[in-house]
């Protein structure tokens, strides 16, 4: 079993994050990571003052992109502020000083960041951070009011001990609140923040000998799509994966396994702290009673391959469903016949809250990007229309949340 957290497929939305000269600038690094975990590309602009608090190398390392600072720094892009302004799907200023707030409120464009803000047509989110008296100063209140009238979204500063020693309002808001407000502009919900979601995905492989194995057909796409969607919605995600040809989703804790026994051990561990368990793996039902340490030989009369004894694998969903407690448990039922009847039996036998049932067969479900399913719970059965596995992943998470609340 191996564990890791890795990067994934190319994000489609860009947040341009403006970092200004404030002691809270170090928190912008956490904002970058959280946005990336939600599947968003982040491009950073720093003011010259901000570079006194955090080295641009930090943001360059986190984003794998150049950090923009000066208006004329990039000789390959003479109108850098325009290209940055156009790249932004959301412009986020965090932390935003009183000075930058005043500039943006009054349309002043005297450095790269303020010029880019003036040039963008993207929604703007501002998370101010400053001394309490600067925050309460009528000039700042007036500037905030002006920006709110223009549709700029504010993430109110928090109250508490400030770096200057004063106590009051002016602390940068919580990273999660800033990230939620930013993602809301991109239509991404954060309703799983603070929740631990455990997912099994892909097939398991059960060795017969060093060369051969028993397995099930599974691309792992559904489980991976659920993991990606859960991370984007703010969850801590553990994805326990059999061997698949897919990249790990961003910000997800990966546990790679081969056999059903390994998957069960990993799932038991992750389930301890999970709020939601989603069992999307196509676990091999049987395994050889003994796995040979040498390649078994064929032969007319004395084939070592004939009569391989098989024994049943543990049922991971059933084992953990039996000790679910307050957790939400979601299973799958891939059926060729009597889909709903079989799914109903699994719902009860495996102690699940929800079974996602689908018809399988030639060209259906396995390895495809779309799926048509039913949701069965103990009250009702709902038929969902044909949809992408990404949309289905969101629907499964929303359904799980109904049981959590
Ligand atoms: N499952 C599991 N461990 C197993 C077998 C299945 O956790 N050893 C889970 C699957 O991840 C899925 C659900 O149980 O969520 C149903 O799996 P499925 O393959 O449809 O059914 P089986 O229980 O294997 O029953 P059958 O093969 O008879 O349809």
Cis peptide before 281 (omega within 30 of 0): no
Ligand 1 pocket check for 352: Cβ under 6 Å:
no
pLDDT of residue 3: 55
CA of 248 relative to ligand 1 center, distance in Å? 23
Catalytic residues: 164
Ligand 1 pocket check for 32: Cβ under 6 Å:
no
For the CA of 356, the closest atom of ligand 1 is 15
pLDDT of residue 6: 42
Give how far Cα 67 sits from Cα of 62, 74, 80, Å: 10, 10, 12
- Helix residue ranges, H only, 16-97: 27-37, 56-63, 80-87
For 164-184, the pLDDT digits (tens) are 788 888 999 999 999 999 999
Ligand 1 pocket check for 334: Cβ under 6 Å:
yes
What's the token pair of residue 302?
Answer: 């004395």
Residue 38 carries which DSSP code?
T
pLDDT of residue 7: 39
pLDDT of residue 8: 44
Q: Is 298 helix (H, G, I), strand (E, B) or coil?
A: coil
Task: Tell which one of 346, 357, 359 to mutate to probe ligand 1, the residue whose CB is within 8 A of the most ligand atoms.
Answer: 346
Ligand 1 pocket check for 220: Cβ under 6 Å:
no
**pTM for this entry:** 0.85
Question: Which stretches of the chain score pLDDT less than 70?
Answer: 1-11, 300-301, 362-367
For the CA of 282, the closest atom of ligand 1 is 11
What's the token pair of residue 81?
Answer: 């502020």
Ligand 1 pocket check for 88: Cβ under 6 Å:
no
In the Cβ-directed half-sphere of 283, how many Cα atoms lie within 13 Å? 25
Strand partners, 37: none
Task: Tell which one of 206, 264, 317 to mutate to probe ligand 1, the residue whose CB is within 8 A of the most ligand atoms.
Answer: 317
Q: Which of these, 19, 36, 16, lies nearest to 28 by C-alpha position?
A: 19
pLDDT of residue 12: 82
Give how far Cα 120 sits from Cα of 90, 102, 191, Å: 9, 17, 29
Rounded Cα gap, residues 342 and 381, in angstroms = 13
For 325-356, the pLDDT digits (tens) are 999 999 999 999 999 999 999 999 999 999 99
Rounded Cα gap, residues 396 and 277, in angstroms = 11
Nearest CA, atom 21, ligand 1: 333
Ligand 1 pocket check for 281: Cβ under 6 Å:
yes
Rounded Cα gap, residues 8 and 333, in angstroms = 28
Nearest CA, atom 27, ligand 1: 285
How many of the other CB atoms lie within 10 Å of CB of 345? 13
Give how far Cα 177 sits from Cα of 86, 283, 358, Å: 25, 39, 37
pLDDT of residue 403: 94
Rounded Cα gap, residues 105 and 271, in angstroms = 49
Cα-Cα end-to-end distance for the chain: 33
């Amino acid at each position: 079993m191996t564990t890791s957290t890795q990067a994934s497929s190319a994000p489609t939305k860009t947040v341009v994050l403006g970092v200004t000269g404030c002691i809270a600038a170090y928190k912008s690094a956490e904002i970058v990571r959280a946005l990336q975990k939600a599947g968003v590309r982040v491009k950073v602009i720093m003011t010259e003052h901000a570079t006194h608090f955090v080295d641009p190398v930090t943001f360059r390392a986190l984003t794998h992109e150049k950090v923009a600072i000066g208006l004329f720094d990039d000789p390959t892009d003479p109108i850098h502020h325009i290209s940055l302004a156009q790249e932004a799907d959301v412009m986020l200023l965090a932390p935003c000083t009183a000075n930058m707030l005043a500039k943006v409120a009054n349309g002043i464009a005297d450095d790269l960041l303020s010029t880019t803000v003036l040039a963008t047509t993207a929604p703007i989110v501002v998370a101010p951070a400053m001394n309490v008296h600067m925050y309460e100063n009528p000039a700042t209140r007036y500037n905030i009011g002006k920006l709110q009238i223009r549709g700029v979204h504010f993430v109110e500063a928090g109250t508490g001990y400030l770096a200057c020693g004063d106590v009051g309002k002016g602390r940068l808001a919580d990273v999660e609140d800033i990230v939620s407000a930013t993602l809301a502009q991109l239509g991404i919900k954060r309703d799983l923040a603070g929740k631990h979601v455990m997912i099994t995905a892909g097939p398991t492989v059960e060795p017969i000998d060093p060369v051969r194995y028993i397995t099930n057909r599974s691309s792992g796409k559904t489980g991976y799509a659920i993991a990606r969607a859960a991370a984007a919605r703010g969850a801590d995600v553990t994805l326990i994966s059999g061997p698949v040809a897919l990249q790990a989703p961003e910000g997800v804790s990966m546990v790679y396994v081969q056999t059903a026994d390994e998957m069960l051990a990993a799932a038991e561990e992750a389930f301890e702290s999970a709020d939601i368990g989603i069992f999307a793996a196509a676990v091999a039902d049987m395994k050889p009673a003994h796995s040979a340490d040498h390649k078994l030989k064929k032969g007319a009369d004395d084939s070592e391959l004939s009569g391989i004894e098989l024994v049943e694998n543990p049922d991971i969903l059933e084992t953990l469903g039996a000790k679910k407690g307050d957790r939400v448990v979601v299973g799958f039922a891939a059926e060729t016949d009597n889909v709903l009847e079989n799914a109903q039996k699994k719902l009860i036998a495996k102690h699940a809250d929800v079974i996602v049932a689908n018809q399988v067969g030639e060209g259906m479900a396995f390895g495809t990007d779309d799926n048509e399913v039913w949701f069965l719970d103990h009250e009702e059965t709902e038929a969902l229309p044909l949809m992408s596995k990404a949309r289905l992943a969101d629907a499964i998470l929303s359904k799980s949340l109904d049981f959590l609340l």
